[in-house]
Amino acid sequence: MSALKNNGLLMLIGRVLLVLIYFMGGFALLKGSVPVEYAASKGVPAILVWIGFAIKLFGGLAVIIGFQTRLAALGLIAFTLGTAFLFHPFWVEGEWNTFWKEISMIGGLVLLLAVGPGPLSIDGRKR
């Protein structure tokens, strides 16, 4: 088991899979198709929606390449907490499952905070 713990390739694959949903979702920022109207219906100002999508795009990219990984993970945790409670509250019918998926994503990001990005990363090369 200790061989798996130090496997840089597995850590890279895990980082990519963990944040792929953020990174790909952040592409809406580049295409100009950010759902500002939907967020406004929940009381979120447009500027916060644009900032949120920038966090998804750049935070996801940072985790994928392993640059400032822990800081990026913290940003994605904050973003995900906000979206879980604002857009997918578990107490609203039909949102229970999505809420817990968001919380599970936070669990993966917390693990990333604990162990770091691994050796196949920009942060790992600095050591």
User: What confidence category does residue 127 fall into, taking pLDDT thresholds of 50, 70 and 90?
Assistant: low
Angle between helices 69-87 and 96-115 (to 10 degrees): 170
**What are the tokens at 127?**
């050591």
Bigger pLDDT: 24 or 32?
A: 24
Quick: pLDDT tens for 59-99: 999 999 999 999 999 999 999 999 999 988 888 888 889 99
Does residue 46 have a pLDDT over 90? no
Does residue 2 have a pLDDT over 90? no
**What are the tokens at 91?**
């107490």
Task: Indicate the length of the chain as a whole number.
Answer: 127
pTM (two decimals) = 0.87
% of residues, the chain, pLDDT over 70: 94
